[in-house]
């Protein structure tokens, strides 16, 4: 013999089914969101790998910086060319110019006169003592 459900029992069963359906839907949404996050994380990881590879290629392509020193010797004296270049730039700045305006610098060393003559941007000339 089948038992008849009371209206309250049928309503309670409907509510339970509805709650279960909502729980399932929420679980599916959470699962979809987790999949989206995982895909986004994979994309970020792939981009990071690409950037790292590019950085490695650039580093490998750049030649190693080498240290150079050039000296001029005359008689018993010796002058470092880099220091003379810096002295010419400092003299230019001391005259009231900005170092950033230097586009071309030529230095002519005349040991017999104990002077280094400079020409900046093919316009401004000057000299510094050796």
Which residue has better confidence, 2 or 39? 39
Query: Using only C-alpha atoms, what is the Rg of the chain?
Result: 40
- pLDDT for 3 equals 59
Q: Write out pLDDT tens, residues 53-80.
A: 888 887 777 777 778 888 989 889 999 9
Let me know: does 43 contact 56? Beta carbons within 8 Å.
Answer: no
> Is the pLDDT confidence value at 20 over 80?
yes
Cα separation, 29 vs 95, in Å, equals 72
Mean pLDDT of the chain: 86
Q: Write out pLDDT tens, residues 111-129.
A: 999 999 999 999 989 999 9
């Amino acid at each position: 013999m089948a038992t008849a459900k009371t209206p309250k029992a049928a309503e309670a069963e409907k509510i339970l089914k509805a709650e279960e359906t909502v729980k399932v839907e929420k679980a599916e949404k959470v699962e979809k969101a987790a999949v989206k996050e995982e895909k986004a994380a994979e994309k970020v990881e792939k981009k990071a790998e690409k950037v790292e590879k590019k950085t490695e290629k650039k580093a490998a392509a750049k030649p190693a910086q080498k240290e150079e020193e050039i000296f001029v010797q005359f008689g018993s004296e010796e002058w470092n060319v880099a220091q003379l270049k810096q002295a010419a730039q400092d003299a230019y700045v001391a005259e009231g110019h900005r170092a950033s305006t230097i586009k071309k610098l030529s230095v002519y060393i005349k040991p017999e006169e104990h002077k280094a003559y400079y020409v900046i941007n093919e316009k401004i000339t000057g000299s510094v003592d050796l």
